[in-house]
């Protein structure tokens, strides 16, 4: 189980807000009926305690495997921040773009590599911003897992600015672990679980994901 499905229901834009609580209750009931007698593989430590009715379970953390990672970049880095994963406003695309525009307005030449799938409108908004500003904005769309990390390893920082909604508050995004394995400084949403994970790393900063 990769994420807490009942939590994600509450932030689905295609479900009418007035219906989300009822849909969530239905999902929770369905999970109880279906998962109870099954063995479940959880991808995060925080998930298992929420399913006490599951008879057998194991946690396999969906984190980076160092032996499969490219070596960290040595030498000068591009003045660009990196984001990998699905691209959407809930995952920080809009607030990232707003923050970049503030930096561009101050004369700071900061680019961004946003690599992953997303709605056409969200991808084009980023590309349009790059064309309008003249700065380096790379939005190639979905890229193979073996290639994506090589594309960002010479960036100056990695982004994981998720909105405080659904199950984002209680999860450790795989991308954060991948940034750390690449020895990239990290800019993350100010969620307790992330602060606790990287507090000793001294290579990070937390931000309010709702404010550029």
> What's the DSSP call for residue 47?
T
What is the band of 204 on the pLDDT scale with cuts at 50, 70, 90? confident
Q: Quote the pLDDT of residue 174.
A: 87
pLDDT single digits (tens) 45-93: 778 888 888 888 898 887 778 888 888 999 999 999 999 999 999 899 9
Q: Quote the pLDDT of residue 184.
A: 92
- Angle at 190 (CA atoms; ends 189, 191), nearest 5 degrees: 95
Q: Quote the pLDDT of residue 177.
A: 87
Mean pLDDT in residue range 30-41: 88
Q: Is the pLDDT of residue 199 over 90?
A: no
Instruction: Please give the structure tokens belonging to residue 144.
Output: 């193979």
pLDDT single digits (tens) 166-185: 778 777 888 988 998 899 99
CA–CA distance, 10 with 165 (Å, rounded to integer): 8
Percentage helix, strand, coil, to 5, in the chain? 40, 15, 40
Q: Quote the pLDDT of residue 161.
A: 94
CA–CA distance, 103 with 83 (Å, rounded to integer): 17
pTM of the model: 0.83
Contact between 88 and 118 under an 8 Å Cβ cutoff? The reply is yes
Contact between 31 and 77 under an 8 Å Cβ cutoff? The reply is no
**Is residue 3 within a helix (H) or strand (E), and if so which, with residue range?**
none
Query: Which of 19-28, 33-42, 91-100, 196-205 shows the lowest per-residue confidence on average (mean pLDDT)?
Result: 196-205
Which of 70, 175, 63, 66 is CA-nearest to residue 113? Answer: 175
Q: Is 191 left (phi over 0), alpha (psi -120 to 50) or beta?
A: beta
Q: Quote the pLDDT of residue 69.
A: 85
Query: Which of 21-30, 44-53, 107-116, 156-165 shows the lowest per-residue confidence on average (mean pLDDT)?
Result: 44-53
Q: Is the pLDDT of residue 192 over 90?
A: no
pLDDT single digits (tens) 125-174: 889 988 888 888 899 988 887 789 999 999 999 999 999 887 787 778 88
Contact between 29 and 5 under an 8 Å Cβ cutoff? The reply is no
CA–CA distance, 71 with 14 (Å, rounded to integer): 41
Classified as helix, coil or strand, 189 is strand
The residues, ordered by sequence, that sit 6+ positions from 34 with a Cβ below 8 Å of its Cβ are: none
């Amino acid at each position: 189980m990769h994420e807490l499905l009942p939590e994600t229901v509450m932030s689905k834009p295609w479900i009418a807000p007035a219906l989300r609580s009822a849909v969530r209750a239905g999902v929770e009931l369905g999970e109880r009926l279906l998962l109870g007698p099954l063995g479940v593989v959880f991808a995060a430590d925080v998930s298992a305690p929420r399913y006490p009715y599951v008879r057998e379970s194991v946690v396999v953390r969906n984190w980076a495997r160092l032996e499969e990672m490219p070596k960290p970049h040595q030498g000068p880095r591009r003045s660009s921040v990196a984001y990998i994963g699905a691209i959407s406003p809930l995952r920080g695309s809009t607030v990232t773009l707003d923050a970049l525009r503030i930096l561009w307005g101050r004369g700071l030449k900061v680019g961004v590599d946003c690599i992953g799938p997303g709605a056409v409108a969200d991808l084009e908004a980023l590309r349009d911003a790059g064309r309008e500003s003249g700065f380096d904005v790379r939005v190639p769309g979905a890229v193979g897992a073996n290639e994506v990390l090589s594309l960002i390893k010479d960036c100056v920082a990695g982004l994981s600015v998720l909105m405080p909604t659904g199950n984002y508050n209680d999860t450790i995004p795989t991308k954060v672990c991948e940034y750390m394995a690449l020895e990239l400084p990290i800019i993350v949403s100010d969620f307790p679980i992330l602060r606790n994970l990287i507090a000793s790393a001294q290579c990070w900063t937390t931000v309010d994901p709702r404010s550029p």
